[in-house]
Structures are given as C-alpha cells and as structure tokens.
Structure 1
Amino acid sequence: MNLRFASLFTLGVLSSFIFFIILLASYVAGFINGYFLIIATIVINIILWLVSPYVSTWIYKWLYKAKFYKVNELENKKFAAFLTKICQDNNLKVPLIGLIPDDNPTAFTFGSGAFNARVVVTEGLFKYLTQEEVEAVVAHEVGHIKHRDFIVMSIASTMLQILYELYFILVRSGSKNSSSKKSGNYLALIGIGAFVLYIVGQYVVLYLSRVREYYADEFAARYTKKPDVMSSALIKVAYGIMATEDDRKAKRLLESTKTLGVMDYKGAKDLSLIHATFKDRFELLEQALLFDIVSPWAKILELKSTHPLVGKRIKRLSSIARSINVSTIYDFEKIKRKKVDKAKLYHGFFRDVSIYFLPFLLSIVGVITPILLSLPWPTFIFGGIIGLGLGSLSKTMYAYPNTKATNETILSTMTDVYASPLRGRPVSYTGKVIGRGIPGFIFSEDMMFQDKTGLMFLNYESFIPFFGNLFFAWKRAKGLQNVPSKATGWFLRGATHHLELKELSTSTDRIKSSIKFWKMFGSILLLLIGTGGFFIFSSILVL
C-alpha cells in the first residue's frame, strides 16, 4: 500500500470516527459539556509534541548514560560522512546523534520533526553489524524523519485520546441526564460506540506503524541500493539482542524503545533462533520465515505489533531488490511456489481457533443452562465456572497431546509451516543445554538447547511453582550445561519458537517439567469448585 495513502487512510478513518461521535452526540443532546476537555487535549498534545524531544534527551542521558553529539564531533568519521550525505541528499537537517553504552544492538529516532530530530544508536550496533549494515539501519531511521512519522503518529495518538474522552464524557452525561431518560440512554449508547471505535482505532494505529516501518525499510534499501544489507542488519540486530547478557538497565532500554527501534525486541528471540540455526543457508532460512508469510496465525500475531513480522520485511526487501535490478540472495517467490497444503494449513488454524475460544463458549453455556432450568441465581456463576473448567481442561489436553514424541531435529521443526501456537507437536531433540534462556540471568529457569542443526528455547516449570523454579535456576540449571542430553516436550510456534519441556534426561539424571500438570490442575480445580457450588445451591431449591 502507498505510504501517503496508508497515512491518509488511517488518519481519515480516525477522523471520521471522531466526527461521527461528535455529530451524533450533538444531535441527541444539542450541546455537550466537554468540548473544553477535547480542545485542552489537543493543545496539551501539541505542547508535548514540541517539548518531548528535549525531555526524552534528558531522560536518555540520565537513565542510560547517553551522550549526544553533533555530526562533526563524532569519532567514527565514516559514520559521520554517511549521515551527513544522506541528510544533504534528502534536504534534511543533520540530526543530533545519541550514543548509548550498551551492547544490545539497536537504533531509534525521535523528535517533533526534521528540525529537532535525534538518532540514537547503541555501542552494540557497531559490535554486531558491519559498517554497511550500520549505514542501512541509520538510513532506516532517517527514513522515519523524511516521512514525518513523528507528526503523523502524534496526530493519530491524539485522535485515539479524543475518542476515549468522548466515551467517558458521553457515558457520564447519559447517566446524569435527568431531563430525558431516553436522551440519556442514547448518549450512553453513543459513548459505548466511541469506546468500540477507540479499540478499533488502536489496531488502525498499529497498522499505520507497521506500514511506516515498511517504508523506512524501503527508503534505506533504495538509498543504499543494497536491500540485502538491510535484511542482514535486521537478522543481526535480533541475534545481537539475544546474545547479549541481560541486566536491569539493558532490559529497561529495550522495553522503553520497543516501539521506536528498528525492530521489536520481543520478536528478536524468534529471529535469533532462526539465524543461529540456518546462518548462511538462505533457502532454509527462507523456509523458516515462510511461516510469517503464509500462516494465518502469523497474521493474527502481527495485529498487536508496532513492527511487521521479519519474514514479511525481508520478503518485501527482496522484491525491492528486483525492482531496482539488484541481485538478492533471498527468493521468497521460489519458496512460495513449493507446495503448501492450504487446506491443511487453514483446517489446523480453524481447529486451533475453536479450541482457543472453547473455555469462553462453555462458560456461557454453563451460565445459560441454569437460567433455562430456573435454578437459583448462584448456580449461574458456578455453571459458568464448570464450563470454564471443562473448556480449559479440553484446551490443555489439545495443547499437550499424549501421543509418543518423535525424534526430530531443531531444523525440521523450525521449517514446519503448519506449526501452531496452540497445538503442541510432541518431539525429542538430542543435543545439550548450552546456557540459560535469558543470558546472564542466574534466576532464569528456562534453558537454551542445541542439537547438531540449531538452537531451541526450553520452557521449564517446576512441580513447586516460583520457588521451585528459583531453586532449579540457582542450583541445577548450570550443572546441566554442556552435558549430552535429550529434551522431550511439545514444540510450539507463535510469537517465538520454543519447546514446552516435559523431560530433560542425561546419562545420570532425569529432570521432569510440570507445565502440563499445573495447567491440568488448574482446570480440574475449577471443575471441582464449580461442580460443588452448583450442587449445593441447586439442592437448596429442592429443599
């Protein structure tokens, strides 16, 4: 979709939502108290838009020890020369450069517009990326400045705020409208409509954010004329984030800049596993990323993300390479021509979705049934709990099937385009634990497992929740590292690849994980509570 069209479409949709609510409310009530609040919201957001870059600069200096430089003050002259040239070529003021002493490779930009923009990079960017890849990332950030993303996203966020305030004002006005009960009900109904549009608007803004990331990628690819370099930069940023030992400050930096950075750090875990597994085997890498492009689950997972899925970004970059007659090592069109059983793909998806909503649907049945049988009102609640317990039990049994685990390689499971975030695939890997799930964090009970083909996260749960996890992480996890072992569990693919661990066995030890047990226990407990309460209160009617 064209960037200007996407921006106008998003802002137009949000504007129409707001004007629709205002017009309806004006028609019903004649005049709405709260105009001043809306105007104040707009004024305050304009002020924040203007001053926030200076406040953010101070925060990054204080919390993350960032140092800001003018371009002629930079020690890295190649970096400075590239930044100067790209800004001159695009008639932009050269931004201030922030440098954060952190090994997590990331970069982001912020400001009110091109006139006071800042581009911030970490030391890790220069540690993990080549000079060309650093330039591609910086070009991506300059693309955000060029496309005036600060302004567009600020306007969109302000519109969302106004929708929420309209909801609050109208519902409150409707409940207090003593002159006309009918008019008050209409106001409250319109207010609820405003809230619904506010929820929809959040997804529209996220969509706009993803589109703007695509176009920042395109700007970098077309300016450098090296789309593959931008692709490799994305992969290395993800790998570097996961390879760097975490501390509290590093986590806070990644969390606070996740909407600003070149990629969402939470998506880095999945991509880092793919990179570590396939490295320069590009055809296999493409097959692993094909999930992002063809799986219906990928579309659902992307809805709440500020950044597009990386597979889609790399596919688009490879298309740009062809459009500018530049060779590319990625050929998603060739991979897509390989047979994907769409019937199998969507059958599994719709089955997963039905199981996902089963607890909710059965809880509704549990509430309605006592009403139809004219039972006492407490049975409505306990009937709902029974339904929730039955649905949760069914969902757990579906997610963790008792079928025998097959011996697989990490490579074979990571290229499975039919993998599901709900239906676990029973598998066993032979290899060794090479580290903790969160590098450097001594209380990380989860582990990183390696076989001859790649890496996989193991999700462990002790029989004694929390304290058992802490004890395992502190006393046992390190002793399991670099020892030949076999990991058995359920492979799931959602936002990340991981193995829900059932058992980790070595020649001298066997570690049981209780993930399935605790989910079964919670479901059965709900069933017992619901059944007990239901029979107690239904027997009152008989007595």
Structure 2
Amino acid sequence: MYYLLKLGELIPLFISAIMSPQESLEELQKGLQSLQRQNYPDAIAYLENFCKYFPDNESPYFVQAEMSLVRAYRGQGEQEKAIALCQSLAHSPNQEVASWARSLFKILTIDEKNSNELGSTEQYFFNGPRADETNVKIVMPRVADSLKFAKVITLIFPFVAVFIVLFSFSWLLFRPNLVFAGLYSLLVSLFINGLFFLLSTWLIDQIQEQFYQTRWGTFNEIQRYSPETGDFLLRFCREKRIKLPRLGIIEDGRPIAFTYGINANEARLVVSRGLLESLTEDEIAVIYTHELGHILNRDFRVMTLVSGWGQCFYFLYLGCEKLAQKSKTWHTIAFILALPCYGLFQLNNLLNTYLSRTREYYADHFAITHTGNPNALVRALVKIPLIRIQQELNATQAAPFLVGMQNFSVCFPKTSMGSEKTSQLNPQNLGKLLLWDLLNPWSFFLELISSHPLIGKRIQVLTHYAEQMDLRTELNMTQMQQDASNINRNILYLSFFLELGLVSFPLLGFIAGLIFFFNPQFMALHLLNPIFFGIGLGLLCQVAIATLFSGKPIDTDLQSLCYSPYASPFWSRLVQWQGQLQAVSYSTLWGKPLYFHDDKAIIPVRHNLFGKVWQKLFKHHSSGVLMLESLMEIQGGFRRRLSSYLELKSMANDEISITSYPQLWKLIVAIAIILLGFIIK
C-alpha cells in the first residue's frame, strides 16, 4: 500500500516530465479560449490540468492560469473554490497579483452575501452562449429612425423652446416692430443655448461630485471587476485613436451606467458600485461596450449639449432639496422654489426623449457587434431594475442620479421589470412580464414620452440578434409566442378605445368650451371663461366615473396583475391584498417612497398619507428601514404605465384602519379649474 501511494505521488511528476512546454501552453491557451467563450466547465478542466502538471509554480503562465481559474470558478458558481484560490493568490510575492486577488476576494464575498440574502438571479438564467468571435456582422431591424435625423431634431428643440418664450415677451415690448422682436429673440436664444452648450459638461461634473458621490476611478479598478472590459476599452481607444474615457464610480448600490461629454477625447463614462458588484464579468463588459457605442455614434455629445439648461435647473432643484432637509424653517420656501426648477428639468428631459430613445437601439447594436454576446445584455437589462428595487428598500439616502441622468442611463431606472421579486424570477415568467410592452395598445403612446425603448421591445431585438448568430436565446420566445396567441385581442382593443374615450373628456370639454366661447347665443350663461369650465367639467366627469364604476376588488394576486397584458395606465383595477408595507428611511421633497410586497412581488405605492399618519403606521428599525411588521389588508387601484404602481385606497389590520383618497387631488384640480371658468376673463 505504501508503495502504491508513493507511485500515485510520482504520476503527476512523470506526466509533467513527458509533457513538453509547448503542450502545456497549448493546454493553457485552450483554457483561456474556453473562458472567453464562457464555457466554464471546459475552462476549469483545461486550467486545472495545466496547474496540476506545470512544473514551475512561480512562472507568469502559472499565475495567469490560477487567476483565470478563479474567474472560471466564479462563472460556474463554485464560490468556495474561487474564494479559496483567491485567498492563496492574495499572499503572492507579486504585489500586482496580490492586490488583484484582495480586490476580487471582496467581490466574491459580496456575491456570496447577495446570493444568500436575495436569492441570486443567476440560477434563473442558463447563461446563454456568445459568439466564438467578436466583430460579428448582424443586421439591425427597422425599429428606430435614423440616428442622424434624431440628433438634428433634438438640437433644434431647445432653440425653438427658448425662442418661443423670448418672442412671447419681446412681442409685448416691441409690438409695433415684430421683425425686431423676432431678431432679438433669435439672437438671445442663440446666445443662451450656446452658453449652456459650453457649460453643460462642467455643470454635470459639478452635480456628479457634489450630489451623486461620484469618485473618479482608475482603469485597473474597472479591470479587476471585469478583465474583458479592460481589454476592450484599451483595444477600442487604440483603434479609434482616442483617449481612454474618464472612468467614474458612484458609491451607491443601485445600478446605473451612463456617458456624457462634448468631445470623444474628454468623455466621461460613469457606473455605480452596485452595477460592478451585481453583474457578472461579461455583463459588465457588454454594458461598457454599449456606453462606448454612444461615444462612437457621437450621440452622447448631442445629449450633453441639449441637456445643459435642464441640468442647470436640476442643480437648483437639488440645492433646494438639500436646504429643505437642513432646516424645517426653510422647507416650505424650498419646496415652492423647487417646483418650477423640477418642472423645467422634466420639460427638458421630455424634449430630449426622442434622441434618448432612438440612440439606445444603435448602442445595443454596437455592443452586440463588438462583443458577440446579446444574451449578456438581456441578462443585464433584466437584472438592473430588479437589483435597483432591492437596494432601494434598504437605502438610507435618495439616489438623485437615477432621475438626473435618466435620459443618459443604459435603461429606464423605474421599469416594470422591478415589480417581480428576485426570489420568484424565472425566464418563463419574465416572458409574461414583457407581453404588455409588445401587445398592449397603450404601450405605443407611453413609449413616445419614455426616455428609453420599452424593455420588452428592446429584448425582442436582442433576441433577433442572437438568432442571427445561431445562438440559443436567453428567453423562451416560443413560450412567449404561445402566451401571446392566447390573448383576446378584441377585448384588448375594446378596452383601449373605451379608456381612450375616458381620457379624452377634458379635451372634449375644451372643444365644447370653444364652441360656447365663439357662439354669441350662449353668452346668456354669463360664463367668463367657458374653456376653463369645459376642461374642469371633463376632469370632474373622469373622477366621477372612476369612483362610481370602480366595482368590487378582483380576485387576483400582485404577480398575476404584473403579468397581465390587459392592465391599463388610466383605468385602475381595484384589488384587495394581504402583505407588508415598507417605506425607505430617507425623505425627499415629495415625501417617503412607500412599497407594498407579498411573497411573490413588490410594487411602489402612491398615497395621500402625511405627518402623524407615518408615526402611527411605522416603527423605526435598526436597519433604518420603516416597516409595518404585521400583515395589512390593502385595498387600492392597480395601474400599469412605464412602471406599475398601486394607488392606495385603504389599509387595515387588527390595530388600525386608515383611508386614503387617490382621486382627491384630481377632484381639487377639477373644482379649481371650474371656478376659474367663472372668475377669469
């Protein structure tokens, strides 16, 4: 037995002796190629075999094999092996290797923690394959307008908006001379827009550093999270002969990625810590490649230029919010000042949505062309909103970058994908979530005011790319097509036209008011402004119909409603559920974000709860999260827009019962407009 054991120890030495250095390096090369293709089982087999039989443990080849083996273990989900090998490399005499190992060790421990706490999303994806090589040729379907056309139109919008405002005032000042008023407005509009064009990058930089907690990182730091990203960044900049973008990291767990600047050599590429720690290496790489696509397509420059005055107003809004948090005395004044700033910022965002939405399709195409990995981008787009809402529930402060950089970010931060709990996610259910984006008639109209393509349409295009490359797709599109065929299109469109009629009531009131206004025989009504009266009456009819015909609560759960392609953005569906209410610990000028969740899904809640109601409802926890520990009976209206939400109507348990009035503000506005119809000439 002793001699058999000794013989077993000598076998590896014998194999290493007869294996030539060239054969060993071929084994290493095969392992690295398998790792690049995300074929983790083969990569592990080749690399383990190389490390086992290679004679020189201090060789750079041996160290490279061990570092690659850590990445392969991580990709395969063998966290314990990855951590053990990483700890060994942390004691390497090579300081660069030791530093890399220590950084990766932190990431691996975070991966393990997230997997235990949230139920890792990785187990619900089969990690669809990628193309064997990069720089693949794929045809982009006709899903978007010309990018050049979108850039030209978007450049015109801010100029026209400022010109109209200036001409309205200058017309009053120079009424006899309209030509002079027009020239004056034209020159001042050019000056104002030119000034903001020049200041836009500097202004966004100031917001990054003062409000977003952005830290300008190093290339090595990004490469530690994703070596593939580092390799592509260097190759891309070398081929295009541009400087490496200035790489920023926002120290926040909520994932985001965006690019801005007016010159390719001075571009800023910023991601959050949450994105780096939550996505896998190839998913990080495809996100960075997507952002580099904006630089190559030069749309990042136009977005930065036209967002200048909007970012200026957002800077003022954040200043007002900061003032309100510091002093209760100034809270009301800060709120009044913040309202117009926020409104003008959102107006600027709305003017830029056409380019923001169009350019995403082109950046996606660029990313897939240069990585050959559409499945990684699908996974990233699904994970980002899921991780965001999980991080939001445990956050201790607001994330102003989610709103401020909404038009710049890789995806819409509050998409309905976040409605599903991570622990319940699987590709089959995910396909159901996307049906609303693809089939509901309202999706077309809502996408017109969205900063990004609806995620269902975007994933459909990415799946088309995967099929062009003969790759197995991440989602079960066959199952999606079967689910789509079971939908009753007649009911879907009948509901749409009925809701469209309801939404048109204020417009019909406006038209009726015009008829009254221009018809002398109706002057006996003594209405000083029939137009206002008509609009207010239309809104009042909306409130009355929504209240009287709300019906009884439907018998369904939150997850089923999130999947329903029949869900409406305007006609709420009354529901009654049992679950928990949770509010984040931070406050904004608009109050505390509130969420309802059961064991399957989670959804934001809109409410009219103020002041002492919060103290009555919630208790402070050591984690900083506000949560009602006992189950609540919740009644409210479910709506599906760009993101799903619940309009709270009532909540009750054995201890308390509270009623909210979701139509209250619309009722107040309707009555106010009707009164204006009697008062204002």
Kindly indicate whether the alpha-carbon contact (under 8 Å) linking 1:277 and 1:455 is maintained by their aligned counterparts in 2.
no
Which residue, 148, 153, 176 being the options, matches 1:8?
148
2:408 corresponding residue in structure 1: 260
Partner of 1:309: 454
How is 1:378-389 mapped onto 2 (pairs within 5 angstroms)? 379-381=526-528, 383-389=530-536
- Which segments of 5 or more consecutive residues in structure 1 lack a partner in the other structure? 22-28, 159-200, 463-468, 538-543
> Contact 1:428/1:488 (CA < 8 Å) preserved in 2?
yes
Deviates more, 1:354-363 or 1:294-303: 354-363
The reply on whether 1:273 has 2:414 as its aligned counterpart is no
Q: Letter of the 1:130 partner, please give it.
A: T
Indicate conservation of the 8 Å contact 1:107/1:262, yes or no: yes
Give the secondary-structure state (helix, strand or coil) at the position aligned to 2:253. Answer: coil
Of 616, 625, 650 in structure 2, the residue corresponding to residue 475 of structure 1 is 616
User: CA separation in 2, counterparts of 1:155 and 1:3?
Assistant: 25
RMSD: 4.1
Q: CA contact under 8 A between 2:255 and 2:387: conserved in structure 1?
A: yes
Contact 1:243 1:439 in 2 (8 A): no
- Cα distance change, pair 472–338 in 1 and its aligned pair in 2 (3 A): same
Is 1:124 aligned with 2:274? yes
In the TM superposition, residue 249 of structure 1 has moved relative to its aligned partner by 7.1
- 8 A contact 2:259–2:300 mirrored in 1: no
8 Å Cα contact 2:386-2:417 kept in structure 1: yes
Q: Distance in 2 between matches of 1:222 and 1:413?
A: 36
Paired letter, 1:387: G
Question: Which of 555, 571, 574 pairs up with 1:423?
Answer: 571
Alignment of 1:371-520 (within 5 A): 372=519, 374-376=521-523, 379-381=526-528, 383-400=530-547, 401-430=549-578, 432-436=579-583, 438=584, 440-441=586-587, 444=591, 447-462=594-609, 469-478=610-619, 481-516=628-663, 519-520=666-667
CA distance in structure 1 between the partners assigned to 2:222 and 2:156 by the alignment: 46
Q: 1:335 aligns with which of 480, 486, 491?
A: 480
Give the Å deviation of 1:282.
1.5
**Does residue 1:110 correspond to 2:260, yes or no?**
yes
Matches within 5 A, 1:203-222: 206-222=353-369
Deviation at 1:295, TM superposition (A): 1.6
Task: Give per-residue Cα distances to partners, 1:46-87, cap 9 Å, x unaligned.
Answer: 786567445544553344443324525767373534532444
Q: 2: CA distance between counterparts of 1:73 and 1:390?
A: 60
Deviation digits for residues 488-511 of structure 1 (CA, Å, limit 9, x no counterpart): 222111122122222222234322
Equivalent AA in structure 2 for residue 141 of structure 1: E
| CA distance in 1 between partners of 2:283 and 2:376 (Å) | 6
Distance in 1 of aligned mates of 2:513 and 2:234: 66
Native 8 Å contact 1:227 1:320 kept in 2:
yes
Maintained 8 Å contact 2:568/2:641: yes
- Does structure 2 retain, via aligned residues, the 8 Å contact 1:384–1:530? no
Question: CA 1:348–1:277 in 2, change beyond 3 Å: closer, same or farther?
Answer: farther
Range 443-452 or range 219-228, more displaced: 443-452
Deviations 1:364-420 (A, max 9, x none): 424534764635488233644553443223212333434111221112111111111
Corresponding residue of 2:466: 321
Aligned to 1:193: none
Given the alignment of the two structures, is residue 347 of structure 1 paired with residue 494 of structure 2, yes or no? yes
Cα distance in 1, alignment partners of residues 451 and 670 from structure 2: 34
- 1: CA distance between counterparts of 2:202 and 2:672? 53
The 10-residue stretch of structure 1 (33-42 or 302-311) with the greater mean CA deviation from structure 2:
33-42
Give distance in 2, aligned partners of 1:220 and 1:384.
51
CA distance in 2, matches of 1:328, 1:439: 40
Distance in 2 (CA, whole Å) between partners of 1:55 and 1:530 is 40
> Does the 8 Å CA contact 1:69/1:98 hold for their aligned counterparts?
yes
The code of the aligned residue for 2:299 comes to: D
Please list the CA deviations of residues 299-334 of structure 1 after superposition, one character each: whole Å capped at 9, or x if unmatched. 111112221112222221111111122211224464
- SS of 2:504's partner is helix
Q: 1:144 Cα shift?
A: 0.8
Unaligned runs of 5+ in 2: 1-140, 164-176, 309-347, 620-625
Q: Provide the residue aligned with 2:294 in structure 1.
A: 144
2:214 pairs with 1:66: yes
2:146 counterpart SS class:
helix
Alignment-derived partner of residue 383 in structure 2: 236
The CA distance in 2 between the partners of 1:137 and 1:8, in whole Å, is 23
Q: Secondary structure at the match of 1:374?
A: helix
TM-aligned CA distance change 1:39 to 1:116, over 3 Å: farther
Match of 2:58 in 1: none
Give SS of 1:515's match: coil
**Cα distance per residue 1:343-367 (max 9 Å; x no partner):** 3222222221221121232244245
**1:151-170 → structure 2 map (5 Å cutoff):** 151-153=301-303
Q: Hey, what's the Cα distance between the residues in 2 that align with 1:289 and 1:116?
A: 38
Name the SS for the 2:420 alignment partner.
Answer: helix
Relative distance call for 1:210 and 1:15 in structure 2 (3 A) is closer
User: What is the DSSP-based 3-state SS (H/G/I as helix, E as strand, rest coil) of the residue aligned with 1:208?
Assistant: helix
For residues 450 and 256 of structure 1, do their structure 2 counterparts lie closer, same or farther at Cα, with a shift above 3 Å needed?
A: closer
1:140·1:220 contact (CA, 8 Å) conserved in 2?
A: yes
Pairwise CA distance, 1:526: 6.3
SS of structure 2 residue aligned to 1:407: coil
Judging changes above 3 Å, is the alpha-carbon distance between structure 1 residues 375 and 74 closer, same or farther for their aligned structure 2 residues? closer
1:157-206 superposed Cα distances (whole Å, 9 cap, x missing partner):
89xxxxxxxxxxxxxxxxxxxxxxxxxxxxxxxxxxxxxxxxxx998853
Distance apart, 1:459 and its partner CA: 2.4
Q: Distance in 2 between matches of 1:289 and 1:99?
A: 31
SS in structure 1 of the partner of residue 574 of structure 2 = strand
Deviations 1:273-295 (A, max 9, x none): 1354852x212211122111222
Alpha carbons 2:214, 2:249 under 8 Å: kept: yes
Secondary structure (helix, strand or coil) at the match of 1:500 reads strand
* Contact residue 53 and residue 116 of structure 1 kept, 8 A: no
Q: 1:512 to 1:229 in 2, by over 3 A?
A: same
Give runs of aligned pairs for residues 515-534 of structure 1, distance below 5 A.
515-516=662-663, 519-520=666-667, 523=670, 529=675
Is the Cα–Cα contact under 8 Å of residues 92 and 146 in structure 1 kept in the other structure? no
Q: CA offsets per residue over residues 415-462 of structure 1, 9 Å max, x none?
A: 1111111111122223x21411x5644995663222233222332224
Compared with structure 1, are the counterparts of its residues 119 and 13 closer, same or farther at alpha carbon in structure 2 (3 Å cutoff)? closer
Provide Cα deviations, 1:239-269, integer angstroms capped at 9, x if missing partner: 333333488974332222112111233x34x
Q: Secondary structure at the match of 2:561?
A: helix
Q: Counterpart of 2:399 in 1: which secondary structure?
A: helix
Structure number with larger C-alpha Rg: 2
Deviations 1:91-136 (A, max 9, x none): 5532121122222211111122322212112222223222322222
- Bigger shift: residues 504-513 or 281-290: 504-513
Counterpart contact for 2:649–2:662, Cα < 8 Å: yes
Superposition deviation, residue 14 in structure 1: 7.6
- Counterparts in 2 of 1:513 and 1:35: CA distance versus 1, 3 Å: closer
